[in-house]
């Protein structure tokens, strides 16, 4: 593994274990197995490492969002749920560093909010598509699907840290059950059939 990639990987782990504010360059260097001087050759200070770590994160999210047009209907939602689950399990340091990023790294915070807006907009588009093809019911009142998408985004972002905090199991299956659980009441008869045929066989039960 290239040294820069190793630095990013070890930094993510330390940021999750100790928080960004409490992680020192010496600890990162020790985890990578290099000197602080060698670390500085790759990244001049901790701020540069934080920026590189989040740049890596944004690249991963961009790759997920770029798949929007590849999968549609319930399969598209299910694929995006899986991708986001693995993204967050691989980037758990984001859970306990939100306030530090907001305080000390406003540009990163701005990009993070922008990406969340993109995820929300994709969810809205997916829900609209599922209504158009008859998988989901039309909204019973104006704005209901907006609220539905916001609730989905809350689960996407916060289900894993809540499970960890409560010392409950974390798995892709449980994560997706929580997401599909709030969608299920909106299924049409066609949607229920499609769900049983395309989602359940993937190990939903």
List, as own/partner pairs, every contact residues 45-48 make where C-beta atoms lie below 8 angstroms and the sequence separation is at least 24, other chains included: 46/20, 47/105
Cα–Cα distance for residue pair 32/4, rounded to 1 Å: 10
- Residue 27 tokens, joined: 């600890």
Whole-number pLDDT of residue 69: 80
- Residue 200 tokens, joined: 């359940």
Whole-number pLDDT of residue 67: 87
Please indicate, yes or no, whether the overall pTM of this predicted structure exceeds 0.85.
yes
Per-residue pLDDT in tens (0 to 9) along the chain, 205 residues = 789 999 999 999 999 999 999 999 999 999 999 999 999 999 999 999 999 999 999 999 999 999 888 889 999 999 999 999 999 999 999 988 989 999 999 999 999 999 999 999 999 999 999 999 999 999 999 999 999 999 999 999 999 999 999 999 999 999 999 999 999 999 999 999 999 999 998 776 5
Cα–Cα distance for residue pair 58/7, rounded to 1 Å: 17
């Amino acid at each position: 593994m290239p040294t820069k990639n190793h630095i990013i990987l070890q930094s993510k782990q330390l940021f999750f274990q100790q928080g960004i504010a409490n992680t020192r360059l010496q600890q990162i260097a020790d985890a990578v197995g290099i000197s602080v001087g060698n670390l500085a050759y790759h990244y001049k200070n901790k701020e540069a490492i934080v920026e590189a770590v989040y740049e890596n994160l944004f690249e991963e999210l961009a790759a997920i969002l770029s798949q929007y047009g590849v999968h549609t209907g319930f399969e598209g939602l299910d694929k995006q749920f899986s991708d986001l689950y693995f993204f967050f399990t691989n980037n758990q340091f984001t859970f306990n560093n939100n306030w530090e990023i907001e305080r000390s790294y406003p540009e990163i915070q701005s990009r993070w909010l922008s990406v969340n807006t993109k995820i929300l907009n994709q969810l809205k588009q997916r829900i609209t598509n599922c209504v158009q093809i008859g998988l989901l019911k039309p909204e019973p009142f104006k704005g209901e699907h907006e609220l539905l998408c916001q609730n989905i985004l809350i689960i996407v972002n916060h289900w894993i840290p809540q499970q960890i905090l409560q010392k409950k199991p974390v798995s892709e299956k449980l994560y997706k059950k929580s997401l599909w659980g709030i969608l299920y009441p909106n299924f049409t008869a066609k949607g229920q059939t499609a769900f049983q045929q395309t989602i359940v066989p993937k190990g939903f039960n």
